[in-house]
Amino acid sequence: MRARPGFAALALRLTGSHMKIGFIGLGNMGHGMARNLLKAGHQVLVYNRTRSRAEALAPDGAQVADSPAAACAAEAVVTMLADDAAVESVVFGGGGVLSALGRGGIHISMSTISVAFSDRLAETHRNAGHGYVAAPVFGRPDAAAAGQLVVIAAGPEQEVRRCEPLFDAVGQKTFYIGEKPSSANLVKLSGNFLIASVLESLGEAFALVRKGGIDPHRYVEILTGTLFSAPVYKIYGSIIADQKYEPAGFKMALGLKDVRLALAAADALAVPMPVASVVRDHFLAGLAQGEGDSDWAGLARLCARNAGL
């Protein structure tokens, strides 16, 4: 099954029904996603550790929850958080999602988390009588704000279908991967590994041509107008040509986290990923040099520095 963009939203308009959704995690991505749920007419309870981020959505109609448990007074609760530890805290911690979500409610994990932790969430929610859907997304904060994310969803088909109105509100397209939730996390991690490897390759290539005296903006125009017309080259090629790594759309520290998770998944499946190991080491070098809060395209700045630029 692949959800048709806009179909569920149309169904909502025809029936006049909307979902009641809890949304936990209002960072660079989550804030825009929650706002788009509100724009689509859903009732949204928002929680963020920094309360001001949640309160900023109140003028849009959001109800501010005082705790993760309070955000679970809904038919579905979304977590959009930085890593396994952050999700574990709001799910398994005192007054967390696991204890507060009603029987039959669905936890939709849209964070980029490990395959192993996603499997643990699926089993725990199943034992508690909850639904669990993994639905990580591809896209930067500007895509989140515009409702143009790509959703990768996996879980029991009936539960995923229940979540389609939500996916239609935040994304341009939803791909259904299968019944096993962690399959979506594996696809997401493999995709982020590919983006990271593209960033490393672009960084090395830009360092080479810049040192040879070639204008980087002209270079990216040539690349994206011929062999490499995909959005990842256009978006990140421009960032690298402009050397605009702050503010970060996606931090280098998070890029390192995702490559590590991809390597952990590869280790569990006995899949060698030598390029991922190289990229991990370069991310580590970036963090050691104080670049952890820079955009992960800042790998190119490290490549330039290594080339004496």
Q: Yes or no: say if 211 and 221 are a contact pair by the CB < 8 Å rule.
A: no
Q: Is residue 222 part of a domain?
A: yes
What is the C-alpha separation between 272 and 35, in angstroms, rounded?
Answer: 41
123 and 44 assigned to the same domain = yes
Contacts of 225 (CB under 8 A, 6+ apart): none
What pLDDT digit, counting tens, does each position of 25-56 carry? 999 999 999 999 999 999 999 999 999 999 99
Task: Please report the pLDDT score of residue 17 as a whole number.
Answer: 59
173 and 209 assigned to the same domain = no
Q: Is residue 2 part of a domain?
A: no
Helix (H) or strand (E) holding 172: strand 171-178
64 and 172 assigned to the same domain = yes
- Determine if the pTM surpasses 0.75: yes
159 and 272 assigned to the same domain = no
What is the C-alpha separation between 126 and 24, in angstroms, rounded?
Answer: 20
257 and 148 assigned to the same domain = no
In terms of Cα–Cα distance, which of 254, 225, 250, 246 is closest to 237? 225
What is the C-alpha separation between 289 and 302, in angstroms, rounded?
Answer: 9
Q: Is residue 169 part of a domain?
A: yes
Q: Is residue 1 part of a domain?
A: no
Q: Is 243 exposed, middle or buried (0-12, 13-18, 19+ CB in 10 A)?
A: middle
Final residue of a structural domain among 150, 180, 210: 180
170 and 203 assigned to the same domain = no
Would you name the residues annotated as active-site residues? 188
What pLDDT digit, counting tens, does each position of 61-107 carry? 999 999 999 999 999 999 999 999 999 999 999 889 999 999 999 99
One-letter amino acid of 174: T
Number of domains in the chain: 2
Average of per-residue pLDDT across 162-166:
95
47 and 169 assigned to the same domain = yes
Final residue of a structural domain among 137, 152, 180: 180
What is the C-alpha separation between 75 and 88, in angstroms, rounded?
Answer: 20
What pLDDT digit, counting tens, does each position of 188-200 carry? 999 999 999 999 9
151 and 243 assigned to the same domain = no
Q: Yes or no: say if 133 and 160 are a contact pair by the CB < 8 Å rule.
A: yes
Q: Which domain holds residue 284?
A: 187-306
